[in-house]
Amino acid sequence: MLGLMVAAMFSATASMVSSQLNVFAGVITQDIVVPRLRRSLDEAAKVRIGRGMTLVLGVLIIAVAMAVPIMGGAEKVVLSITSLIVGPLLLPLVWALFSRKVTALDLALTAGVCCGLGLLVRFGMGGDSWLARQSLLDPLLTFVRTQPRSIEAIVGVALPALSMILVELFRKSEAKGTAPFRALASWPRPEEAPATVAELAQPARVVGWSLATCAAGMFLLALFASTDRALPAGCGVLMVALALPALLFRPQT
């Protein structure tokens, strides 16, 4: 059971990481790299660029993972990254969904300045760094060292919100590109054809066969286990009970 749980956790993590790498590599390739080349590329060249971006992102993730012990452990790294990077990236994007004045440059500047400032304050003012040796910054350094979560909240949430508020107050004109979206929102929506019973039953059958396969694995574990056979056997019976309705269902034609 322990090996099965570890395998399941590893599989879920690998699936999440691979999907995120594909998404970020695709965005970087299509929206940043290819437009900057200013020449037409075939699909094979774009695929090669996307693979290169995937490799670069994978190396960066591995480097960050290897540096986790140096940066204070996984908990501190996750909390710091979430508050210092996710906030400046997510808050302006959500704000732009409801605003007609926020531009792509505003989003890039807000994310870049807040993320850079947060990383500088969080990791550049500790230890024996150059900033830590400046006597004029002693009050700020004391506050950073004693209130790290407050600093992360200020840099990761307050500063991006303040930036968006300033954009709303001082920019008088709308951002380019909002008019086509407003026109698109006024278009009549096409009527979707209702799904047939067979189409609705197909995903349930896929889930049913997956549960049946897992149940077979549980029964094998119970067969070869030396102790505690009741737990995997019970899990297998429960999976079979969940899989049978989907597998035995026959839609009426």
**Domain coordinates in residue numbering, the chain:** 19-66, 71-174, 198-248
In this structure, are residues 167 and 102 in contact, taking their beta carbons and an 8 Å threshold? yes
What is the rounded CA–CA span in Å between residue 167 and residue 45?
Answer: 39
9-44 residue pLDDT tens? 888 878 888 888 888 888 888 878 888 787 778 888
Amino acid at position 172, single letter: K
The reported pLDDT for the residue numbered 92 is 87
* CA–centroid distance for 89 within its chain: 11
The reported pTM is 0.53
The reported pLDDT for the residue numbered 64 is 79
**To 10 degrees, the CA torsion angle through 118, 119, 120, 122?**
80
33-81 residue pLDDT tens? 888 787 778 888 888 998 999 999 989 888 878 877 776 676 667 776 7
Residues 6+ apart with CB under 8 A from 207: 243, 246
